[in-house]
């Protein structure tokens, strides 16, 4: 992050304090006949400081998918931290419903229910996966930060069988929420990078995702896994 | 119509000017060339590490200490009112609050205003105090370095 050292600068008046005092008194004596000249002289004696303010640490980004780390809730002075946990979202499909076309709800092993902003219980586990964060930056008219998902083509099992990632979708909500979600509902692409949300600068953004499996194919029995990588990019 | 209206308007305007000059005190910028900044930098940090849910959480603050020494010789042995003035300036609204060591009054103001820091007799040619300034600016205005000008001024009766 670039840091430009700020500085304090003084405007040079070119006059000593004593000189200015004399000018001032003379001006009073001759106010009636030389008002315009007096105003000019006082103005040139003006002294002022210019303090140059510079943003020392202008940019910060924080993204949490599943569990995250804060020293405390933000409203209690909490600071964001790093959490390397990789949470899972899964579903076990019974044989008698496999391929029925009825979507099967998925659950997560994430324990994140509360918003680190204020401790509010925002998501419900194991049904919902928390996603949230913020993007700090200076300057006006700043473009939003984007959050993308890098999605493999398929989930695979130990024997090489596969299920397309596009069989998985999600809805988006949050306890007490109204209006549009910053991380809206969607469906994974069949391999590739897709946008899953954005964050306007200097705002806290969060949603709760309910994942489900489309269940309209009949793959061989097995445990299918795949990893989606979420990335936040700031302008 | 015009020939009747003009003299009346001119008279009202002239009276207004005379009245204004009779009641307004004259403000004079005080020489503060003896003032020193103890730190040459005003580094601005986010007031909170994390933003709020709206952009209201975009405030940046920065602190610096100033050893103020102003020349009040022209008003020696008179009474005076001294103000700290923060003129309206680009890039927008700037907040300033300060604490003092007691010679001047602590206070706060927004750009475009001034606040009284001393009222009373001027007993010495110089007045000194150490002020700790805290500037506050919306981060949206901090896309570049921001020069902020302020000064002290004396009201003459």
Q: Compute the nearest-CA separation of B155 from chain A (Å).
A: 13
Domain that holds residue B49: 25-156
The domain spanning residue B41 has which CATH number?
A: 2.60.40
Looking at the structure of chain B, the number of domains it has is 1
* DSSP track, B10-65: HHHHHHHHHHHHHHPPEEEEPB-TT-EESSS-EEEEESSSS--SSGGG-EEEEEEE
Tokens read off for A106 = 């998925």
Whether B15 maps to a domain, the answer reads: no
Q: B52 pLDDT exceeds 90?
A: no
Contact yes or no for B140 and A140 at CB 8 A: yes
* CA–CA distance, B130 with A196 (Å, rounded to integer): 53
Which of A57, A143, A145, A75 minimizes the C-alpha distance to A115?
A75
Contact yes or no for B50 and A7 at CB 8 A: no
Q: What is the pLDDT of residues A23-43, one digit of tens each?
A: 222 333 333 333 333 333 333
Q: B23 pLDDT exceeds 60?
A: no
Q: What is the pLDDT of residues A88-121, one digit of tens each?
A: 999 999 999 999 999 999 999 999 999 988 889 9
| pLDDT recorded at residue B71 | 95
Whether B11 maps to a domain, the answer reads: no
Q: Compute the nearest-CA separation of A1 from chain B (Å).
A: 13
Whether B17 maps to a domain, the answer reads: no
Whether B14 maps to a domain, the answer reads: no
Whether B6 maps to a domain, the answer reads: no
Whether B77 maps to a domain, the answer reads: yes
Q: A224 pLDDT exceeds 50?
A: yes
**Whole-number average pLDDT of chain B:** 83
Q: What chain A residue is nearest to B89 in terms of C-alpha separation?
A: A50
Q: What is the pLDDT of residues A117-168, one digit of tens each?
A: 888 999 999 999 999 998 888 877 567 899 999 999 999 999 999 999 999 9
Q: Compute the nearest-CA separation of B12 from chain A (Å).
A: 23
Lowest mean pLDDT among A20-29, A64-73, B7-16: A20-29
Residue carrying the six token digits 């009276």 = B15
Residue B106 CB neighbour total at 10 angstroms: 14
Tokens read off for B45 = 């940090």
Q: Which residues of A111-135 are buried (b: 16+ CB within 10 A; e: fewer)?
A: ebeebbbeebebbebeebbbbbbbb
Q: Residue B27 to residues A28, A43, A92, B81, B114: CA-CA distances in angstroms?
A: 13, 11, 80, 9, 11
Whether B88 maps to a domain, the answer reads: yes
**Whole-number average pLDDT of chain A:** 80
- pLDDT higher for A191 or B141? A191
pTM: 0.66
Whether B7 maps to a domain, the answer reads: no
* CA–CA distance, A229 with A208 (Å, rounded to integer): 17
How do the domains of chain A map onto residue ranges?
A: 8-51, 60-233
Contact yes or no for B44 and A139 at CB 8 A: no
Residues 6+ apart with CB under 8 A from B22: none
| pLDDT recorded at residue B36 | 86
CB contact at 8 A, B31 and B12: no
């Amino acid at each position: 992050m670039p840091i430009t050292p700020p500085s304090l600068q003084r405007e040079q008046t070119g006059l000593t304090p004593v000189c200015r005092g004399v000018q001032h008194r003379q001006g009073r004596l001759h106010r009636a006949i030389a008002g315009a000249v007096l105003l000019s002289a006082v103005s040139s004696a003006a002294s002022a400081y210019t303090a140059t303010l510079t943003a020392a640490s202008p940019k910060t980004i924080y993204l949490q998918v599943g569990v995250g780390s804060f020293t405390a809730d933000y409203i209690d002075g909490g600071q964001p931290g790093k959490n390397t946990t990789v949470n899972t979202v899964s579903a076990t499909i019974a044989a008698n419903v496999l391929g029925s076309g009825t979507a099967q709800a998925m659950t997560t092993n994430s324990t994140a229910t509360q918003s680190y902003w204020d401790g509010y219980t925002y998501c419900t586990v194991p049904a919902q996966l928390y996603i949230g964060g913020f993007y700090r930056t200076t300057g006006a008219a700043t473009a939003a930060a984007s959050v993308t998902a890098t999605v493999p083509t398929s989930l695979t099992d130990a024997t090489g069988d596969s299920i397309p990632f596009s069989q998985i979708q999600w809805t988006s909500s949050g306890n007490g929420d109204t209006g549009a979600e910053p991380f809206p509902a969607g469906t994974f692409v069949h391999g590739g990078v897709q946008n899953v949300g954005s964050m306007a600068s200097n705002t806290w953004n969060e949603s709760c995702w309910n994942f489900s499996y489309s269940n309209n194919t009949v793959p061989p029995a097995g445990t299918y896994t795949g990893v989606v990588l979420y990335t936040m990019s700031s302008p | 119509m015009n020939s009747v209206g003009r003299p009346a308007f001119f008279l009202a305007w002239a009276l207004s000017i005379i009245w204004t000059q009779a009641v307004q005190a004259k403000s004079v910028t005080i020489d503060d060339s003896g003032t020193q900044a103890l730190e040459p930098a005003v580094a601005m940090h986010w007031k909170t590490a994390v933003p709020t849910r709206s952009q209201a959480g975009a405030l940046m603050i920065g602190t610096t200490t100033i050893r103020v020494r102003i020349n009040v010789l022209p008003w020696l042995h008179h009474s005076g009112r001294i103000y700290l003035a923060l003129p309206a300036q680009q890039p927008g609204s700037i907040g300033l609050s300060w604490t003092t060591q007691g010679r001047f009054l602590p206070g706060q103001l927004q750009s475009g205003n001034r606040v009284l820091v001393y009222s009373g007799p001027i007993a010495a040619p110089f007045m000194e105090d150490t002020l700790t300034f805290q500037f506050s600016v919306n981060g949206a205005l901090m896309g570049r370095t921001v020069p902020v000008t302020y000064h002290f001024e004396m009201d003459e009766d």
